[in-house]
Amino acid sequence: MRLFLAIELPAEVREHLTRVQEAMVPAVERAAITRDAALHITVKFLGETDPSKLDAIGESLAAVGGGAVELKATHVECFPERGSVRIVAAGFGGDTKRLKGIQEAIEQRSVHLGFRREDRAYKAHVTLARARPVLPPATRQSVTDLTAPLWPGPTFSAGGFVLFQSRLTPQGSQYTKLREFPLHS
């Protein structure tokens, strides 16, 4: 099973991000735009996982707390940070320091369960488009200019995170919600 952990977005946040995607289309015509139903904030990618680990994952992650986190999409970002652009994403503001603490707790529990630690520093974002082949470096300025009037997006309260299974299909990734984890105080 291919698994990941993510924060689901309320409808008004997904609607805002869809407007951002529409605004940036002239700069990312060759990129694949993320479907509305697939917009989420990834907290941890677990990858290929033996189904027999599901109970242990659920038991361990149920202990993650920290309370609800207030967030809002505040700007567009491109990854990698330099050179050609592979990913165009929405960056987040709000209580990102607490979100980072929650993500680190999830990371530690995941490592304890045998998953690989992420090498890159965590940065809360929602992937808006993926480019294959890559887009030129000038895309950064273009998408920033095209989306500037749309920021910030609506503030929302993230009260938990979800364990998803991802299935790769010819129509794109299909996500199945396996379990929800409230961020109890």
The model's pLDDT over 124-160, given as tens digits with 9 standing for 90+, comes to 999 999 998 999 999 999 999 999 999 999 999 999 9
Rounded to whole angstroms, how far apart are CA atoms 120 and 94? Answer: 21
Comparing CA positions, the residue from 50, 56, 46, 62 lying closest to residue 164 is: 46
pLDDT in tens, 113-126: 999 999 999 999 99
Count of residues making up the chain: 185
Q: What is the mean pLDDT of residues 52-76?
A: 96
pLDDT of residue 167: 93
Question: How far, in Å, CA of 76 to CA of 97, rounded?
Answer: 19
Quick one: what percent of the chain has pLDDT higher than 90? 91
HSE of 122, CA atoms in CB hemisphere, 13 A: 21
* Number of domain units in the chain: 1
Mean pLDDT, residues 51-56 taken together: 96
Determine the pLDDT at residue 80. 94
Instruction: Give the whole-angstrom CA distance, residue 71 versus residue 13.
Output: 10
For residue 171, name the pLDDT band (cuts at 50, 70, 90).
confident
Question: Is pLDDT at 21 greater than 90 in this prediction?
Answer: yes
Mean pLDDT of 81-90: 96
Name the residue among 88, 93, 84 with its Cα closest to residue 147: 88
Tell me what percent of the residues of the chain surpass a pLDDT of 70.
Answer: 100
Q: Which ranges of the chain does DSSP label H, i.e. alpha helix?
A: 11-24, 54-61, 96-112, 139-147
- Evaluate if residue 172 carries a pLDDT over 80: no
Helices and strands, counts by H and E, the chain: 4, 9
Q: What is the domain-level CATH number for residue 137?
A: 3.90.1140.10
- At 56, list the tokens: 């242990």
Q: Which domain holds residue 96?
A: 2-182
On average, the pLDDT of the chain sits at 95
| pLDDT recorded at residue 184 | 82
